[in-house]
A and B are shown apart, each in its own frame.
Chain A
Amino acid sequence: MRPFQYSRAPSLAEASNLTADENALAIAGGTNLLDLMKLQVETPDQLADINRLGFADIEDTDEGGLRLGSLATNTETAVHPRVRADYPVLSRAILAGATQQLRNKATNGGNLCQRTRCFYFTNIDQPCNKREPGSGCGAIDGIAKLHAILGTSEQCIATYPGDMAVALSALGAEVQISGDKGERSVPVRDFHLLPGDTPWIENVLEPGEIITGIVLPAPVGSTQIYRKVRERSSYAFALVSVAAIIELTDGKFSRADFAFGGLAHKPWFDPRFGEALIGQPPSEALFDKAADVLLEDARGYGENDFKIPLTRRTLRAVLAQATEDAA
């Protein structure tokens, strides 16, 4: 068997210490990590169990926002009265992911760190630059229906699979991180990285850094929509998902914060999309124009070409829903 050291981290400092090694990983809910360890896609020498560190609270911030503990479960977060009342897009996004059993176990921090479900990443007998740098990308010219159309590289066309982070990106949330160099805060929009030439680096966490919380800004009201298109109605990853926070003033967009899932190696946030909408009255033509901007550099890989028109159409659905919800 593959031996590894399992330690229960008694403190944040110790957790940081335990995960500082290159081949160390933190484990919280384990819903993704354990699967990957069984497949030997992940082969840590050291597992630091961070479940006893606290960070499970969901509490108000002085700024009127909400701080989600990194170890609060997805279920606890989705059903929290303030999340439901003030950040419904987040509640809906979480509930659109995985299954009830998985959400009961999965944590907010872990959700941000989940790995791609690319078929070639999870099969250790196939090439994957993310898993084995330099081995090639099996998905390019392979089965790539679920794969990315934006921000890809010749090294990797995998998608970030989650839903929660897409809503967090639209909301402009911040990730709180603690490590041996102290604490820092990173916008969710900057937390995940594009593959470039280093597809194995998926986010900005440095060795020894632990996510302690996610901070939501003060609520903005507005119409909040999470729209996930998938091949079955539950327990399937997004073909395309859209998190939208929309406000109309005098019949014109005064707020239009959109983030997209299923399109890229990270939750996709393009400020130009919202800028194209602001100050304009909603219409399909306007959404199409904004979609042109969004999809300007989109590239299909054969099997996933449909994601380009699907994104456009899903945006029209969001528009229809938004105008219906606002009415």
Chain B
Amino acid sequence: MKSYLVAIPVCLGLALVAAPAARAGSANVMADSCAGCHGTGGQSLGAMPAFNTKSADELKKMLRDYRSGAREATIMDRITKGYSEAQLDAIVDYYKK
């Protein structure tokens, strides 16, 4: 049986070139679930709005307005109701960090 471990000796400390390991805080997983519709890092490819077209303050207001019903939506009204205002703000901060 061949062993996959043959690939290991070529490693020359390359982990050092990688970014420092990000801690998986709650905001990461909670916020990253938005990427299913809006793309990794909020860089939407299609009809879903990308996050880079608005400022953090604008996005926070939009999400709060979807949640309260002040802003009309097809689906974001249903989704934002699953979060507190503080959580929505934290999601925006994660994408805008």
Is B one of A's binding partners? no
Spell out A's residues near B (CB within 8 Å). none
Spell out B's residues near A (CB within 8 Å). none
